[in-house]
């Protein structure tokens, strides 16, 4: 019987550099951000959501680019397991996109936020209790550490915003990663500066951010960026 990685020691998971430890650390940070999100309003809520987005989307991209191909190779039911989690990732992309489009005054915002938290918690449970323990049993500690190094590198250069039309699998995700990451991280900086700038400068910052979002939308729709997806996660 597999043991959830939530209940194992760092040594059991393969040491500090293991991908399992890195995954669990991100999940713990996600839980802290979700707790901060509860009760946050206005610009404070936007700030927490931006931090949550940066964590969630870079984390998911690293999983899909580094971990899931290995899971599909070494586990008999790897295809079904990764597709299930990719569907959760796709729903998170669509929920966050809707939150961005609707803004703070959207009457549907509370329901979308509640569903976002629900899906994120489901995703963590599926990974920690189901998929990652099976990966742990299928590969050795050396490979867990090697995967950890690759996962950490990819997550540092991954996109940080929702991109629902981009494929969740190669070659689409790999082809679109660099331009989307540059656009997302520039937009993150612009949005942060805009929230802290004098009110008279805010329209300029919002216009720059919207322009970057439009360029990202063009990149998302390049045919190569959409190749490799499965039907349940394609849009």
CATH node for 5-233? 1.20.120
Q: Classify each residue of 88-97 as buried b or exposed e, where b means 16 or more C-beta atoms within 10 Å of its C-beta.
A: bbbbbbbbbb
**Which contacts of 230-235 are long-range, i.e. CB under 8 A and separated by 24 or more positions?**
230/83, 230/86, 230/168, 230/169, 232/83, 232/86, 232/87, 232/90, 233/83, 233/86, 233/87, 233/89, 233/90, 233/168, 234/167, 235/90, 235/94, 235/164, 235/165
Residue-wise pLDDT for 23-80, tens only, equals 999 999 999 999 999 989 998 999 999 999 999 999 999 999 999 999 999 999 999 9
In the chain, what are the domain boundaries? Answer: 5-233
Residue-wise pLDDT for 149-205, tens only, equals 999 999 999 999 999 999 999 999 999 999 999 999 999 999 999 988 998 999 999
- pLDDT category at 1 given cuts 50, 70, 90 is low
User: Closest by alpha carbon to 92, among 120, 125, 111, 68?
Assistant: 120
The mean of the pLDDT values for the chain is: 95
Alpha carbon 136 to chain centroid distance? 22
Cβ contact 144:64 at 8 Å: no
Residue-wise pLDDT for 88-120, tens only, equals 999 999 999 999 999 999 999 999 999 999 999
Q: Scan for tokens 């500090």, then name that residue.
A: 16
Q: What is the mean pLDDT of residues 12-22?
A: 98
pTM above 0.85, yes or no: yes
- Predicted local distance difference test score (pLDDT) of residue 2: 81
Helices 109-125 and 78-102 pack at an angle, to 10 degrees, of 160
CA angle 173, 22, 69 (to 5 degrees): 35
Cα end-to-end distance, the chain, whole Å: 37
Residue 34 CA to residue 56 CA, distance in Å, equals 11
Cβ contact 168:229 at 8 Å: yes
Q: Which residue has the higher pLDDT, 128 or 233?
A: 128
- Predicted local distance difference test score (pLDDT) of residue 43: 86
User: Closest by alpha carbon to 233, among 83, 43, 49?
Assistant: 83
Residue 171 CA to residue 227 CA, distance in Å, equals 6
Residue 217 CA to residue 32 CA, distance in Å, equals 30
């Amino acid at each position: 019987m597999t043991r959830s990685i939530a209940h194992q020691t760092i040594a059991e998971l393969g040491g500090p550099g293991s991908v399992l430890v890195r995954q669990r650390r991100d999940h713990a940070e996600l839980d802290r951000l979700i707790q901060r999100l509860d009760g946050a309003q206005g610009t404070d809520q936007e700030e927490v959501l931006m931090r949550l987005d940066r964590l969630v989307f870079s984390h998911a991209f690293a999983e899909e680019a580094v971990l899931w191909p290995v899971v599909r190779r070494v586990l008999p039911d790897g295809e079904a397991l990764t597709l299930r989690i990719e569907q959760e990732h796709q729903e998170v992309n669509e929920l966050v996109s809707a939150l961005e489009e609707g803004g703070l005054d959207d009457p549907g915002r509370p329901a979308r936020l509640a569903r976002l938290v629900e899906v994120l918690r489901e995703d963590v449970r599926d990974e920690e209790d189901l998929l990652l323990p099976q990966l742990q049993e299928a590969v050795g500690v050396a490979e867990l550490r090697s995967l950890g190094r690759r996962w950490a590198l990819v997550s540092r250069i991954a996109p940080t915003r929702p991109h629902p039309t981009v494929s969740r699998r190669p070659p689409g995700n790999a082809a679109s990663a660099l331009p989307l990451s540059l656009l997302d991280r520039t937009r993150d900086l612009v949005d942060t500066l805009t929230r802290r700038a004098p009110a008279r400068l805010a329209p300029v910052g919002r216009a720059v951010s919207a322009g970057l979002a439009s360029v990202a939308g063009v990149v998302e729709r390049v045919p190569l960026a959409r190749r490799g997806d499965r039907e349940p996660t394609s849009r």
